[in-house]
Amino acid sequence: MMRIFLVFLLGALVSLSHAATLVSAEEVSKDKSSRLILDVRNADEFAAGHLPGAINIPHDKVTGDDSRLKDWKDKPVLVYCRSGRRSGLAADKLEQAGFSKVQKLEGDLPGWEAKGYPVER
């Protein structure tokens, strides 16, 4: 039993060391140009509305080898989706690939829209 607990605890500590920084919609709206904005929803969801200037790479296609991401390894990369699940998965993949400044949009797309910020279609 103690062994299972220790394995669980170690896993929790490792996941905490790879936690993306939460960034508010207000902060992103003030300064979009200093970060890559990555929408990790599917193409249809992206087409229905996304943050201005965002690029779309579905969460299951996110890799550190994508040519669109290669210049951003040491620069802020903001990921978002609809609920936070896919952006969390994508953030983990990016961090494991060596991206050092991964950020997550607080509230994801619904949080952005709830604050009245624009979306592109």
Q: Give residue 64's pLDDT.
A: 86
Q: Is the pLDDT of residue 8 over 50?
A: no
Are 52 and 35 a contacting pair, CB within 8 Å?
no
pLDDT tens per residue across span 58-81: 999 999 899 999 999 999 999 999
Are 25 and 118 a contacting pair, CB within 8 Å?
no
Q: Give residue 16's pLDDT.
A: 43
Q: Give residue 7's pLDDT.
A: 42
Q: Going edge to edge, which strands form the sheet with 102-105?
A: 21-23, 102-105, 77-80, 36-39, 55-56
The predicted model scores a pTM of 0.83
| Catalytic positions | 81
Q: Is the pLDDT of residue 116 over 60?
A: yes
Pick the CATH number of 20-114 from 3.20.20.80, 3.40.50.720, 3.10.20.90, 3.40.250.10: 3.40.250.10
> What does the block give as tokens for 65?
């080898």
pLDDT tens per residue across span 16-48: 445 799 999 999 999 878 999 999 999 999 999
What are the residue boundaries of the structural domains of the chain, listed by start?
Answer: 20-114
Report the share of the chain in percent with pLDDT over 90: 79
Q: How confident is the model at residue 11 (pLDDT cuts 50, 70, 90)?
A: very low
C-alpha distances out from residue 41 to 9, 32, 84, 94, Å: 31, 19, 10, 15
